[in-house]
Amino acid sequence: MLSRRAFLQACGGAPLAGAIAGISGCYREPDDGRIHLRYMAWGNPEQHATEQEIIDRFHEQNDDVRVKLFKVPNSAYRNKMIVMLASRTAPDVIRVDQYDFPKLVRRNYFRELTEFVERDSDFDLKDFIPQALDECHYNERLFGLNTLFGGILIYYNRSLIERAGLYDLYDLYDKGDWTWEALREYAIKLTKTGPGGRQTQFGFAIPGFVSHSPMLWNYGAEILSSDHRDCLLDSAEAIRAYRLLLGLRWKDKACPTPSEAAQSAFVLESGKLGMSVGWMGETPKLRRVVRSFDWDVCPLPAGPAGHWNVVKGNQLVMSANTRHPEAAWRFMRHFVGRESEMYLCGRLRRASATRLSVMRDPEFLKADGPPRHTRAFLDGLENARRLPIDHRWQEWTTVQTQYMDRLYNYPEDPADVLPKMARAIERVLRSEEGF
């Protein structure tokens, strides 16, 4: 039983009804002579169907184990996961977003995986991209395996760009001319105005904080200091980057405002947007919904300080209280195995591979439909950096979002808003540590 204080800490602000729902009831394993595991994950029906296929393939190779996919809606996932972990009712294997991993691993909710790796001679950590492994560690100990890992790309309407008489974006990138200034030029040229003076087509959609963080790095700005006590988003470099980004909306009128973008009026799949920024996993959705135009991908533009990208994944973790650790490990290693990664990342383009052996396989780059510039999935991992995600991430980014909303919704000068935002974030970073 949880004390009231422990319960509230575990919920992390979760609504009481959701918290109670998370720990109510008991799970009883079927008595059929097999080991039964539960795997908890969120996602849309397409994502769940994909993961179920991976589970089915695991069953074909492991007749003594059965895995039940425990589906939770996106909106309720985080709260339910936290309460189930705190109440020791969590499933055997859980997919955790990297945003939450540092906060939860500190609570001893996950079983360390080092012993399983050391005993498994066929599991080679050297086959994994270093950044993918790094975010699975806590205090230099391995507590997760990375899945749905990847960086950010520019998704673009190839048909609109061809009609405008512009170079293909990937060709521009290949020549070394793909910069944020070039993106601005393209965004302006791709924006169209109707008879009433209202825009009927926009060149670009301004991305949120995580997705535009590489732009900050490419202009020489940093987000936090190395000790995570100072916010550096008020530097001259950050102000310069934000002026260009927000100027696309307020000065150039080449990006929709929040009201103009309401109800998905100007998203890439609408056919009325030239370019957008998105994670590598957006391909399956676009393949499903886009029928009226051609589209493709290319890496993010470079800036005066470099050509950085951001990478992030989810962690597969083993619950500390699982009754079947060996079987749970078998399932986890299958989920991140070569066969699964070739399916997820090669055929579906659901993410970027974490395994070097997959990325070097010629089959990985074969394209049976858009996007055809599959090399961008590899290019997007060059010079990749991790976000400064720690156990205070959710707290300080909530504050950051409040100030960014001002800049997104009103034509204010970043030089006026960013110093106030940085000081507000620092108050959170330097406050007494909570959960």
Q: Where are the domains of the chain?
A: 22-151+312-378, 152-310+387-429
Listed in sequence order, the residues at least 6 apart from 33 whose beta carbon sits closer than 8 Å to its beta carbon are none
Segment 113-133 mean pLDDT? 95
Lowest mean pLDDT among 8-12, 154-158, 164-168, 170-174: 8-12
Percent of the chain with pLDDT over 90: 80
Quote the tokens at residue 124. Answer: 């080679």
156, pLDDT greater than 80:
yes
24, pLDDT greater than 50:
no
Please write down the HEC assignment for all residues of 367-431: CCCCCCCCHHHHHCCCCEEECCCCCCHHHHHHHHHHHHHHHHHCCCCHHHHHHHHHHHHHHHHCC
Nearest partner of 39 among 80, 74, 8, 67, judged by Cα: 67
pLDDT category, 23, cuts 50, 70, 90?
very low
Segment 382-398 mean pLDDT? 94
pTM here is 0.89
CATH of domain 152-310+387-429: 3.40.190.10
Nearest partner of 260 among 408, 101, 121, 363, judged by Cα: 408
- Outline where DSSP puts E strands in 151-308: 152-157, 192-193, 199-204, 273-279, 295-298
Torsion of CA 54, 56, 60, 62, to 10 degrees: 80
Spatial contact of 328 and 93, defined as CB atoms under 8 Å apart: yes
Quote the tokens at residue 275. Answer: 């370019």
- State pLDDT tens for residues 318-376: 999 999 999 999 999 999 999 999 998 888 888 889 999 999 899 999 988 899 999 99
Quote the tokens at residue 307. Answer: 């050509």
Q: Classify 22-151+312-378 by CATH class.
A: alpha beta
pLDDT category, 27, cuts 50, 70, 90?
low
Q: How far, rounded to the nearest angstrom, does the alpha carbon of residue 266 sit from its chain's CA centroid?
A: 22
Q: Which residue has the tokens 């599991």?
A: 123
Phi first, then psi: give them for residue 276, nearest 5 degrees.
Answer: -145, 160
Fold: same for 22-151+312-378 and 152-310+387-429:
yes
pLDDT for 380: 87
The single-letter code of the amino acid at 311 is V
Tell me the CA distances in angstroms from 266 to 44, 272, 294, 310, one per residue in order: 22, 6, 17, 25
Nearest partner of 14 among 64, 83, 116, 61, judged by Cα: 83
- Measure the CA–CA gap between 109 and 87, rounded to whole angstroms: 10
State the alpha helices, DSSP H only, in 164-235. Answer: 169-174, 180-189, 209-218
Q: How far, rounded to the nearest angstrom, does the alpha carbon of residue 196 sit from its chain's CA centroid?
A: 39
Half-sphere exposure of 300 (CA within 13 A, CB side): 30
Percent of the chain with pLDDT over 70: 93
Nearest partner of 24 among 2, 48, 5, 41, judged by Cα: 2
pLDDT category, 44, cuts 50, 70, 90?
confident
The single-letter code of the amino acid at 308 is W
Q: Which pairing describes strands 65-71 and 93-97: parallel, antiparallel, or unpaired?
A: unpaired
Nearest partner of 387 among 153, 216, 164, judged by Cα: 216
Segment 115-137 mean pLDDT? 95
CB neighbour class for 163 (10 Å; exposed up to 12, middle 13-18, buried from 19): exposed
Rg over CA atoms, the chain: 23
The single-letter code of the amino acid at 352 is S
- Measure the CA–CA gap between 65 and 58, rounded to whole angstroms: 9
pLDDT category, 297, cuts 50, 70, 90?
very high
Segment 138-147 mean pLDDT? 96
Winning range, highest mean pLDDT, from 9-13, 22-26, 258-262, 295-299: 295-299
The residue that leads in pLDDT, 263 or 211, is 211
pLDDT for 13: 47
Tell me the CA distances in angstroms from 301 to 152, 220, 379, one per residue in order: 11, 14, 12
Residues across the chain: 435
6, pLDDT greater than 70:
no
Spatial contact of 318 and 90, defined as CB atoms under 8 Å apart: no
pLDDT for 408: 93
